[in-house]
Amino acid sequence: MPLSPPRSSPALAAWETAAWLEPVRAVGIVDALLGGGLTSPAALAEIAQRFADRRGGRRASRVFALADPAAQSPPESHLRVRLVLAGLPRPVAQHPVRLPSGLVLHPDLAWPEFGVAVEYDGHWHTDPDQMHRDRRRLNQLVAAGWVVLHVTSRRLRDDFPAVLREVRDVLAQRGWRR
């Protein structure tokens, strides 16, 4: 009878990821595990408690605290975590914004108390049909009183300090105080 390889639970894989990888990358992976229903916040809390005294335990707990199952992609997760680690208040991923027409939109990141949203635009947003849909969404959110900032993959990678300044400035204009 052939031996089967040892199996790791998704929660254990999340802990190992969180304990050993750089936190921004780790959160993107843990978000995907949560969003895909492969593990749960309760399972992560249990494994974090069980391994709290192991090397990497504090880092894993911090990564789990930053994780969000509503995130739609690793780059959105990276953007969210980098903004939070830079001192901004934690945004809500995929916050429902009900328009007067009854339509509900879900910006990638939102600070609903300030009416500020951030949309992450990866490479596929350059498709003409997608750009058309994105601009319609932008116009609808702006008409509903929201300020919407867009962050491209290039800006996230190469120009994060400017992105951070822009988001911080808009939040401050809308009433956020440290």
CA atoms within 13 Å, Cβ hemisphere of 170:
19
Q: What is the pTM of this model?
A: 0.88
pLDDT at res. 156: 94
- pLDDT band at residue 124, thresholds of 50, 70 and 90? low
Q: What is the residue-averaged pLDDT of the chain?
A: 92
Residue 167 CA to residue 162 CA, distance in Å, equals: 9
Q: Is 54 exposed, middle or buried (0-12, 13-18, 19+ CB in 10 A)?
A: exposed
Does 69 score more than 80 pLDDT?
yes
The answer to whether residues 126 and 92 touch, using CB atoms and an 8 Å cutoff, is no
- pLDDT band at residue 54, thresholds of 50, 70 and 90? very high
The answer to whether residues 68 and 31 touch, using CB atoms and an 8 Å cutoff, is yes
pLDDT at res. 73: 93
Across residues 86-104, what is the average pLDDT? Answer: 95
Determine what percent of the chain is predicted with pLDDT higher than 90.
81
CA angle 120, 153, 30 (to 5 degrees): 70
pLDDT at res. 126: 61
Residue 130 CA to residue 124 CA, distance in Å, equals: 7
